[in-house]
Amino acid sequence: MNGETQSYNMSIVDSYKSFMERNTDPRTENWLLVTGPGPLITLLASYLYFCTSVGPNYMRDRKPYSLKNTIALYNISQILLSIFLVYEGLASGWWNDYNFDCQPVDYSDTPKAKRMAAAVWWYFFAKIVELLDTVFFVLRKKNRQITFLHLYHHTMMPICAWIGVRFLPGGHGTLLGVINSFIHIVMYTYYLISGLGPQYQKYLWWKKHLTSMQLVQFVIIFYHNFSVMFCDCNYPKTINFLLALNAGLFLYMFGNFYYRNYIKPRDGSKPANGVLANGKTKEC
């Protein structure tokens, strides 16, 4: 029995090594946090453990931290990083070179191909940095905002981005990063203004429209990846399916949030004051 178990384990290891050798992009395999899944898994496991257990327990008998200046600087950095990602995504392909209907990955060493690969890594890095959103919730004792939607969103996005850097740093799936980064420019601008104080609330009348933009984002991403599954395109249909599935799940969860906070309240119940679809509050 032990021999069979050992043989089975060796088979799994060999299959894993074979898969990595066949599919890894040699241009990116040695980049920071991309050498293997271990660093990312450790990081995400630590993130979830801190945000659901260690952090709330640590803050239980402590006053919440203000972090106003820290969060303001964080929001500014996120706006600038998102602008950079939109620009790089467009300049590297989506402005006039990439095909919306079908775009294979360019694995060459041409300047544009390498520039897109680098942009995909920076997008992955941005998803790692965004884990601080939840850390700030914990330190400010905003535990009510740490919802399943929030944790799922912040956990899945780094995983998707890591797969992109390691195996597909370019091509069809990168439109997701361009659209998502554009949404984040608007979103973190909202957070920055809302954190300036109550006197600026009158400038935030467009909160509802921000959630609408997030929903449109997922519709476009779903269509962009689902439609290519039915045509002859040199891009992994498994990835298209997973991206479409994930976009569909986000569309359902964000849509449910939109209904509960902007449609259902018309029946007489009060909306969740100041809460956005990703769990952020207007005082952040």
| Dihedral over Cα of 238, 128, 250, 101: its sign | negative
Cα 26–Cα 15–Cα 7 angle in degrees, nearest 5: 145
Counting Cβ atoms within 10 Å, is residue 238 exposed (0-12), middle (13-18) or buried (19+)?
A: exposed
Q: Residue 275 forms beta bridges with which residues?
A: 281
Q: What is the dihedral of CA 12, 16, 19, 25, to 10 degrees?
A: 180
153 labelled catalytic = yes
CA dihedral 108, 114, 120, 123 (to 10 degrees): 180
Task: Give strand pairing partners of 281.
Answer: 275
Q: Are 259 and 211 in contact (CB under 8 A)?
A: no
Active-site choice (150, 153, 154, 184) = 153
Q: What are φ and ψ of residue 142, in 5° steps? A: -100, 50
Q: What is the distance between the alpha carbons of residues 13 and 244, in angstroms, rounded to a whole number?
A: 29
CB contact at 8 A, 89 and 161:
no
Tell me the residue type at 279. G
**Cα angle value 226/230/231 (rounded, 5°):** 115
Active site amino acids: 153
